[in-house]
Amino acid sequence: MWWVTQGRLGQALGWARERGLSVEDDLSYLREFEHITLAKVLLAQDAAEAGARFFDEGTQLLERLLQAAEAGARTGSVIEILVLQAHACQARGDSQAALGSLQHALTLSEPEGYVRIFLDEGPPIIPLLRAAAKDGIVQNYVRRLLAAVNKTQNTAPVQQGLIEPLSERELDVIRLLASDLDGPDIARELVVSLNTVRTHTKNIYAKLGVNNRRAAVRRAQELDLLSRTMRPPTRPVVRDAHSP
């Protein structure tokens, strides 16, 4: 979440409250991204306050999320959660556990060539990747990730990275993708066909440089695209039979 990376933790916690998020929620795929973000906020808040108030809640939530993602075979989510667990362990001085979580993440990532998940972590991921390289963990892949992270640090901020601006309707769609609505529900909300929603979603993925809903929502938050108010849907005009 952009607010977390910018250290605006009060706003991040406010967002979590507005979304009605809690560490005690029942977990579901539709809100998985939000709960992963909540875990990030809790861990970041703990680090900022240099205490354990939020750490246990954040790590316990990550463990529950990991179990759910593994059960659902959602590899991208599993990798992201493992990386967060690695950061949490590193922050508490448990380098061995941190490297263990990262090794698991890298082993899953390497065959699929995941890069963005690691790039999104920014500079904090560099020491962990260097430790992995030193231990000989998928060395060629880790070197490629390190090169990509270093390159990202020397280029324009992520807010300038949009390939092409989203249209008004695509902004409406991405806002709804950030909710717990499924495809048919989004189509009904926008008064369009499901195929139209799928076309907009495909275009959104291309413009944001992602390949799934969770990544699209995360990218949209980084670009501050979700703060806008959705325009009312254009509903078809139904004319009376005697109207001209």
pTM (2 decimals)? 0.65
Residue 216 has which token pair? 């699209």
Question: How far are the Cα atoms of 170, 208, 240 from residue 164, in angstroms, in the given order?
Answer: 12, 8, 42
pLDDT(185) > 50: yes
Range in 47-56, 59-68, 191-200 the model is least confident about? 47-56
pLDDT(189) > 60: yes
- What pLDDT is recorded for position 70? 94
How confident is residue 240, by pLDDT bands cut at 50, 70 and 90?
A: very low
* Domains of the chain in sequence order: 2-157 (1.25.40.10), 160-222 (1.10.10.10)
Rounded Cα distance, 79 and 102, in Å: 9
Q: What pLDDT, in 10s, does the model give residues 15-54?
A: 777 778 888 999 988 788 888 888 888 887 755 454 566 7
**Whether the Cβ atoms of residue 40 and residue 4 lie closer than 8 Å to each other:** yes
